[in-house]
Amino acid sequence: MSLYNVQKFLYELNRDERVQLAYRTDPQQAIAGYDLDAQERGALLEPDIGLLYHLGVNGQILMHFAAFCGIEWSDYLQRMRDGVELHGPVRAGVYALAGYEGVEAHSRRLGHRRSDDGPGRAGGTS
């Protein structure tokens, strides 16, 4: 896996209008100069936010890519959750180092209720 190259591409896409134009015009050509494996190329071309998150792409970089692709904020967050559900815990990067497995797993460990169970902590009121 080449997480560095995925994030480098996304960083440059987020900041360089020439890279943005290249990606809009011919996405395969735009990513051709980066050392990516087939899974990473597919996730960038789809775009598959959940898979990119699972692979370890930083959420700040990924957030801008999602917006560039026209993905609404709530859908972006859901795609990240779905990525963990579908592909498993984050494999690399800062979220893997922290052992982050998604909002629900984190909330369970802290004793929080699920958001659809109402406000507050489990066993308490707010």
Give the pLDDT means over successive 10-residue stretches in the chain (126 positions).
91 97 98 96 98 93 97 95 91 60 65 53 42
Cα(80)–Cα(103) distance, rounded to whole angstroms? 10
Topology (CATH level 3) of domain 3-114? Protocatechuate 4,5-dioxygenase; Chain A (1.10.700)
Which pLDDT does position 120 carry in this prediction?
44
The CA R_g of the chain, rounded to the nearest whole Å, is 16
Terminal CA-CA length for the chain: 44
Which pLDDT does position 30 carry in this prediction?
98
Residue 102's region, left for phi above 0, alpha for psi from -120 to 50, else beta, is left
Cα(39)–Cα(55) distance, rounded to whole angstroms? 9
Question: 66 CB contacts (<8 Å, ≥6 apart)?
Answer: 47, 49, 75, 76, 79
Which pLDDT does position 19 carry in this prediction?
98
